[in-house]
Amino acid sequence: MTDAPGSDIAPAEGEPVASFIAWTEAMSVGHERFDGHHRVIIDGLNRVHPLLGTTGREAEVHAVIETLEDFVLVHFSEEERLLREIGYPDWRPHKAMHDAMYELVFKMKADIEHGRTPDAQLLFAILNDWLVGHILGEDRKYIPYLDHPAPRAEPIWHRSNGRPF
């Protein structure tokens, strides 16, 4: 993944990961950078899968959560900005889904910071649901707008402090 677009959101250094699931072009949204970002979810699944049912490998689960934190911060903001720019009509519900995922990731991180053991099974379920439900479902809905933006794209709203919504 080191040369893929979006690879600046990379997994922690370590041994190569055996693939539980492999990226295919059928998963592509047609945007190289976002496809690179989405590969982070696949990598997370591949990193967590061998940890299922094991003990004493909490640091590895924590490392995946750290990567996921970078993913949600960078990817979600970039994707939401593009969806508004191209006039994707459902960008608000899409953002709401991102916000829910953001809350899950940060709750898991907060749990770890408060001394709770990270749950590999829960993390795997979250990543798998995100791949199947969001990337292969919701994200595919905006593909037509990438090539043919809406003629009257919604303006980007700004908060009272001048920052984009």
Q: Is the pLDDT of residue 140 over 90?
A: yes
pLDDT digits 0-9 by tens, 150-163: 775 455 666 667 66
**Mean pLDDT, residues 29-57:** 88
pTM for the predicted model, two decimal places: 0.75
The domains located in the chain, with CATH, are: 58-147 (1.20.120.50)
Q: What is the pLDDT of residue 6?
A: 47
Q: Is the pLDDT of residue 7 over 50?
A: no
pLDDT digits 0-9 by tens, 61-89: 888 888 888 888 899 999 999 999 999 99
SS (H, E, C) 44-109: HHHHHHHHCCCCCCHHHHHHHHHHHHHHHHHHHHHHHHHHHHCCCCCHHHHHHHHHHHHHHHHHHH
pLDDT digits 0-9 by tens, 92-104: 999 999 999 999 8
Query: Ramachandran region of residue 115, left (φ > 0), alpha (ψ -120 to 50) or beta?
Result: left
Q: What is the pLDDT of residue 9?
A: 45
